[in-house]
Chains A and B, each alone.
Chain A
Amino acid sequence: MIKGRAYTIFPYRFMRLGKDILLVNEAGEFIFMSENDFVKLRTYQLDIKDEIFLNLEIKHIVADTDPTLPIYLLATKYRTKKSFLNDFTALHIFIITLCCNQKCKYCQANSEDEARTDYDMNTGTAKKCVDMVFKSPSPAIKIEFQGGEPFLNFETVKFVVQYANQLNGAYQKNLEFVICANLLGLNEEMLNYLEEHKIWVSTSLDGPRNLHDANRITRKGTGTYDIVRKNIQLAQDKLGNDRVSALMVTTRDNVDKLNDVVDEYIEQRFNSIFIRTIHPFGRAAKEKLGYDVETFIKNYKKTLDYIIRLNLDGVAFSEQYATIILKKILTPFATTFVDLQSPAGTGISCAVYGYNGDVFVSDEARMLSKMGDNRFLMGNVHKNSYQEIFNGKVIRETIENSCVETMPLCSECAFQMYCGADPVRNYSVQGDLMGHRPTSEFHQINYLIIRHLMELIKQNDADIMNVFWSWITNRSIEEIKRSERG
């Protein structure tokens, strides 16, 4: 402590939010204070007996005694928040085939005709990929089948499941499988197989018929809503509601009708939705399906509010992106969402194995490759060793350039601990891994969503906070309020 001063000030980041100042410590814990108190804090004029001083002290922003303990606590909490780094790559995405029976207008993967077989992953490549997966030190391994439509090459799916389970007999990892499919060709035999091997299903649903069929169409151009709806029900009945989830893409068509999309999800027995923005890759870029940031945020806020009201009316339903960010803001725990972390999840949390054995740092990276740019190709399972792929130049560069702690503008942002970087997107849109925040849509959307959630937290409305905590702790709002009935 400097002589003559009653306390030490620790590092924090801050931002004006309404009339108040938001202060966030190195571990992501936050506090709001008035501008007047903020000035006092910075000029060492706070009374160490004042309540505001004590509140700052337990956030480790100030210390009036030996700072050893608060530094130790901060370090432990920082490690916990970054504990997603401990185990290395857990999510392994297999591009089982590039062929698809749909031709969605926003397809990022630029899928191929379903009649072709030369874009299928063969079992020889699949075997090498599984061998590579098990070289990851992570105690938890999730293998995700993607495409194209993975059911079109179901033999390879079955081979991977069988071979991975066989290897796991020795490795004893926590092994899970997910199949991301449009479900168009789902049949009884496939369902039985999914049930028997406890495979999770993730499908796509963009809303009610008119919104879903606006973009999700077959190669012949016909809608897919009816068959998808029927097959979602079949899968839910067979595997259980919690084993089947759906993803949606926000396009120009449904961006102002997100409440209808939510209603559709509830009607189809889903208990959450992930309101995802469109990625400017593949066909999506050409078809002009996008919208400006302002339109998206306006509608996102409106629908988030709608979902909160639904919860207060007794419908347990969550928005997953908000849940992830709320966990980052409100809990001391790490999140495992690979698309919003620092350093980015590219390669170190997630890897993508192309149909021919090429290994990429992310799904977007393999899409870039399909368009002819191999910037994020880490290697190939037929040609390279695990060390060459996962300790090579590509993964190192990608990670080095995706730490928000060192990125311009991010380094001083109060939301730093709640945010993350997407070097692949930065590269594809802005031509540079680090990107340029003022013109980045990724930045703008995340900043505005985090800011909106922070404003709601600041309001501290008891009902809204109960809804948020029900999402974070995965309990119904009823359960949280039950205790109050005495």
Chain B
Amino acid sequence: MRQLKGIPLNSRARIIGKISKNPAKTRETKNCILATVSIEKRLRGFKAVLCSTAIEEAKTIRLKIPIIHSVENIEALSEGDIVSLDMMTGDIIVVYERNSIHNSVLASTDCNCRCIMCPQALAANSKENLKNNIEIIRMMDKRTPALGITGGEPLILGDGLIKLLKQCKKQLPETQIQILTNGILLKENDYVRSIARLRLRNLVFCIPLYADTDTEHDFIMQRKGAFEDTIQGLYNLATNRQLVEIRIVVMSLNSKRLPKIAEFIYHNLPFAIHVAFMGMEVEGMARKNIEKLWVSPKAYSPYLRDAVFYLFQRNVNVSIYNEQLCLLPKDIWNFTYKSISEWKNIYLEDCLECSEKSRCGGFFAAPYGDHKAQIHPL
């Protein structure tokens, strides 16, 4: 997530609020955090104030309101963005960007699997987290086009996730909600039914399938029985008429079987509304295991091509995420999609002179060395 920094004053707490750029605005200021250039005298009702100029402590002592001053790049904040302020350190974390199509809520920092290419840093969940997330959703713009619910594994929240989804239904009735889950806990049909009962119209479960056989999938997820549980979960979703997207992260262990994974999906999961093949994000465990996991997109693109065409020919909605155009055969460019969140998305020096840069998804912040070496401008 995008992050800014300044110097905190008047509080040591954690504060969540919605950015307002209009100091005169009085309506709905209770949850609002003012972002401004310099602090003016009257500032009633705001939850906190952020300003770009430095201010002297003495002058503001009479203003009891929490303040972070000397904030660099404050113009990056937009009206309606939601920020989390750490008043101990002065960190300003942008948890929601009103103008982005890539917003998400980190519902759980913990997981029931330890996948060998997991890019996330995992930690035990705190009760505060759920409360904060519900508060964040409550502040979101009703016109938000899409929201991801991510983790860790969101389903380990159990009833907590139901509460979160209820808030989504209330605040974001039109928003496309995507839950990113490994699907293991969906093997309990009662749980799936209780989610289905919420009747969220635009809810999609995005579930990874790393292999076409249990042995390989279980190995990648580092959990025996994961394949069986996830497939059962997918079938429970289908019987409860929930929407499903299948995601396949491509790595050395499954790259040659991509066409067979596509075949498995078409024959066993024909109810999936979308299938996405995804380049690996080299972070966390993936970075640690990179020697074992790495295969260059150029090397696997023939298999990727076969898999994509297999599904497209069968009228299955299929996409490619997180790949760079210069490493893919041109005839599958139409399936690529700029899927990397803006704040993570970068381009290399070589990319600046590329004629296809505007169509290309670019990179996560950190391309792997071998990967970087193959990138070339078109």
Pick the interface stretch among B54-62, B170-178, B192-200, B265-273.
B265-273
Tell whether A76 is near chain B: CB-to-CB under 8 Å: yes
Tell whether A57 is near chain B: CB-to-CB under 8 Å: yes
The residue on B at minimum CB distance from A65 is B214
Tell whether B47 is near chain A: CB-to-CB under 8 Å: no
- Tell me the complex Cα distance, A66–B226, Å: 13
- Complex interface: chain A residues within 8 A of B214 (CB): 65, 69
Contact B257 A332 (CB under 8 A): no
Which residue of the partner chain, among A55, A58, A480, contacts B313 with CB atoms under 8 Å?
A480
Contact B235 A484 (CB under 8 A): no
Shortest Cβ gap from A249 to chain B (Å): 32
A116-167 with Cβ < 8 A to chain B: none
Tell whether B38 is near chain A: CB-to-CB under 8 Å: no
- Tell me the complex Cα distance, A126–B144, Å: 56
Contact A57 B213 (CB under 8 A): yes
Tell whether B114 is near chain A: CB-to-CB under 8 Å: no
Shortest Cβ gap from B263 to chain A (Å): 7
Contact B330 A69 (CB under 8 A): no
Contact A58 B213 (CB under 8 A): yes
- Complex interface: chain A residues within 8 A of B334 (CB): 483, 485-486
Q: Which of A29, A65, A77, A485 has the most CB of B within 10 A?
A: A65
Which residue of the partner chain, among B260, B268, B330, contacts A55 with CB atoms under 8 Å?
B260
Contact B331 A485 (CB under 8 A): yes
4 further contact pairs, Cβ within 8 A, besides A469-B314, A480-B313, A486-B331: A54-B260, A58-B212, A58-B264, A77-B268
What is the interface of chain B, defined by CB distance below 8 A to chain A? 212-215, 227-228, 231-232, 235, 257, 260, 263-264, 266-268, 270, 309, 312-315, 330-335
- Tell me the complex Cα distance, A63–B312, Å: 29
Tell whether A68 is near chain B: CB-to-CB under 8 Å: yes
Nearest 10 A/B pairs, CB to CB: A486-B330, A473-B315, A484-B331, A469-B313, A486-B333, A69-B228, A58-B212, A483-B334, A332-B267, A58-B264
Q: Show 23 residue pairs from A and B whose CB-CB distance is below 8 angstroms, ordered by the A residue.
A: A54-B257, A54-B260, A58-B212, A65-B215, A69-B214, A69-B227, A69-B232, A72-B232, A73-B268, A76-B235, A77-B267, A332-B268, A333-B270, A469-B315, A473-B313, A473-B314, A475-B315, A480-B313, A483-B331, A483-B332, A484-B331, A485-B334, A486-B330
- Tell me the complex Cα distance, A472–B313, Å: 10
What is the interface of chain A, defined by CB distance below 8 A to chain B? 29, 54-55, 57-58, 64-66, 68-69, 72-73, 76-77, 331-333, 465-466, 469, 472-473, 475, 480, 483-486
- Tell me the complex Cα distance, A72–B263, Å: 18
- Tell me the complex Cα distance, A465–B314, Å: 11
- Tell me the complex Cα distance, A77–B270, Å: 10
Shortest Cβ gap from A380 to chain B (Å): 41
- Complex interface: chain B residues within 8 A of A485 (CB): 331, 334
- Tell me the complex Cα distance, A486–B333, Å: 5
The residue on A at minimum CB distance from B318 is A483
Q: If the complex has contacts A58-B212, A64-B215, A486-B330, are A73 and B231 also in contact, measured as CB distance less than 8 A? A: yes
The residue on B at minimum CB distance from A63 is B214
- Complex interface: chain A residues within 8 A of B270 (CB): 331-333
The residue on A at minimum CB distance from B229 is A69
The residue on B at minimum CB distance from A483 is B334
- Tell me the complex Cα distance, A64–B309, Å: 30
Shortest Cβ gap from A300 to chain B (Å): 25
Shortest Cβ gap from B225 to chain A (Å): 9
Shortest Cβ gap from A245 to chain B (Å): 22
Q: Which of B228, B263, B315, B334 has the most CB of A within 10 A?
A: B315
Shortest Cβ gap from B332 to chain A (Å): 8
Shortest Cβ gap from B336 to chain A (Å): 10
- Tell me the complex Cα distance, A486–B308, Å: 13
Contact B312 A483 (CB under 8 A): yes
- Complex interface: chain B residues within 8 A of A486 (CB): 330-334
The residue on B at minimum CB distance from A330 is B314
- Complex interface: chain B residues within 8 A of A57 (CB): 213
Contact B335 A29 (CB under 8 A): no
- Complex interface: chain B residues within 8 A of A54 (CB): 212-213, 257, 260
- Complex interface: chain A residues within 8 A of B312 (CB): 480, 483
Shortest Cβ gap from A68 to chain B (Å): 7
Contact A483 B231 (CB under 8 A): no
- Complex interface: chain A residues within 8 A of B213 (CB): 54, 57-58
- Tell me the complex Cα distance, A68–B267, Å: 18
- Complex interface: chain A residues within 8 A of B264 (CB): 58
Contact A58 B260 (CB under 8 A): yes
- Complex interface: chain B residues within 8 A of A465 (CB): 313
- Tell me the complex Cα distance, A54–B314, Å: 22
Shortest Cβ gap from A79 to chain B (Å): 11
- Tell me the complex Cα distance, A486–B232, Å: 37
- Tell me the complex Cα distance, A83–B330, Å: 41
- Tell me the complex Cα distance, A358–B112, Å: 64
Shortest Cβ gap from B247 to chain A (Å): 19
- Complex interface: chain B residues within 8 A of A55 (CB): 260
- Tell me the complex Cα distance, A332–B271, Å: 11
- Complex interface: chain A residues within 8 A of B335 (CB): 483
- Complex interface: chain A residues within 8 A of B330 (CB): 486
Contact B263 A58 (CB under 8 A): yes
- Tell me the complex Cα distance, A77–B235, Å: 12
Shortest Cβ gap from A85 to chain B (Å): 18
- Tell me the complex Cα distance, A69–B213, Å: 11
The residue on A at minimum CB distance from B266 is A332
